[in-house]
Amino acid sequence: MLDMMRALIGTPSVSSTNQSLDQSNLPVIHLLADWLENLGFTVSVEPLSNHPGKANLIATIGPSHKGADGLVLSGHTDTVPYDEHHWQQDPFKLTEKNNHFYGLGSTDMKSFFALAIDVASRFNLKDFKRPLTILATADEESAMTGAQALTKKQFHHAKYAIIGEPTGLTPIRMHKGVMMESLVVTGQAGHSSNPNLGASATEGMHKVINELLKWRDDLQRKHQNPSFAITSPTMNIGSIHGGDNPNRICSHCETQIDIRPLPGMDIDTLRADLQKRLNNILSIDSKLTLAHRPIFAGVPAFETAANAKLTQMVESLTGKKAEAVAFGTEAPFLNRLGLETLVVGPGNIDQAHQANEYIPADQITPYCNFMQKLISNICIK
């Protein structure tokens, strides 16, 4: 297991929307493919179209032709970028210190694959009555293009999925979604002494922001979920840029917003609502135009029912009640494929996306024991 952790962490696979930092995940995929093929898994490496150097891996063991109620153990192969100056040790060298294993991706979430493969190797191929699938995705940390490329056909043999993101071994059945939108008001520049010479984009943006805040109030009044620490959907008006000089009419103003919808709120519907509201506002002044653009496709909110079979099974195996978290995962994409999905993994989210990321050694054995029982319950019994 440690050898696998060492090899995975030693194989860089940063994903970033910044092209100069973005790396291929194929070297990690090939490591996993080799190990899984050796165990008797049928391995399929699925390149992402339009994303050269990126691929998902789907590896299945057991009677995949029989039944449709197998288990998927899922993780992402990429890491966030790193800042070497803040690391006290080489981010690509698994380092054990004070009962912690340090390394980039140690907790988020390369170790998960080493643990899952180690646990899978404890079973006998002929004992599988239902298939076990290990899924490894690309680009979770950037645009989730790997998860978005998955299709129902690839998982016709599975019914349940566990994503091993770091949750400190607590099962998670809900998280909010995230969407980020850019709104640009375009007007007409002119000398400030005569307003008739132009059309002020900053004044148009003032109306846009007023409407955004009204919309936020409406959304928060309509949608509440007491399972979350912040019980309502949120909207952050994160940036605004416009104009260049006090004596010039501003011709261009952009704001960027972030919205965190609750489960049950659909991203496409929200986008359509936003568009409709803003069209109404600016149509009053025909000299101004508004362009609305999603900054990325967005991650839907995620919810698996409290009384779902997997929720109850995992709650009883971990002895912990399933909770809601603030961070996003690939779970909504797996749910969309008809897989009952929970997020539960070793390590803590507080150590993810940081220098000196580590996985606590004392969470490894309990998590392996949990996976062993889960595989046994779903695939063997």
Q: List the catalytic residues.
A: 78, 140
Q: Please check whether residue 321 is in contact with residue 168, taking contact to mean a CB–CB distance below 8 angstroms.
A: no
Q: Which is nearer to Zn ion, 22 or 181 (CB)?
A: 22
User: In the complex with Zn ion, which residue's Cβ is closer, 101 or 123?
Assistant: 101
Q: Which is nearer to Zn ion, 51 or 110 (CB)?
A: 110
Distance, CA of 342 to CA of 171 (rounded, Å) = 7
- Which amino acid makes up residue 294? P
The answer to whether 324 and 227 are in contact (CB under 8 A) is yes
Least distance CB 249 / Zn ion (angstroms): 46
- Which residue, 233 or 347, is less far from Zn ion as judged by CB? 347
Q: Give min distance, CB of 377 to Zn ion, in A.
A: 25
According to DSSP, the residues that pair with 240 across neighbouring strands are: 255
Q: Rounded distance, CA 278 to CA 249, Å? A: 22
Smallest gap from residue 109 Cβ to Zn ion (A): 5
Give the residue closest to Zn ion by C-beta: 108
Q: Which residues contact 269 (CB under 8 A, 6 or more apart)?
A: none
The pattern of x and - marking residues 143 through 172 that bind Zn ion according to CB under 5 A reads: ----------------------x-------
Q: In the bound complex, what is the minimum distance in angstroms from residue 140's beta carbon to Zn ion? A: 6
Q: Which is nearer to Zn ion, 288 or 343 (CB)?
A: 343
The verdict on 330 binding Zn ion (CB under 5 A) reads no
The string of DSSP letters for 52-100 reads TT-EEEEEEES-TTS-S-EEEEEEE--B----GGG-SS-TTS-EEETTE
**DSSP secondary structure of 28-44:** HHHHHHHHHHHTT-EEE
The residue from 78, 108, 181, 330 that contacts Zn ion (CB under 5 A) is 108
Residues 46-105 that bind Zn ion (CB under 5 A): none
| Least distance between Zn ion and beta carbon 139 (Å) | 11
Report the site for Zn ion in 18-47 (rule: CB under 5 A).
none
38, amino acid identity: N
| Positions in the binding site for Zn ion (CB under 5 A) | 108-109, 165
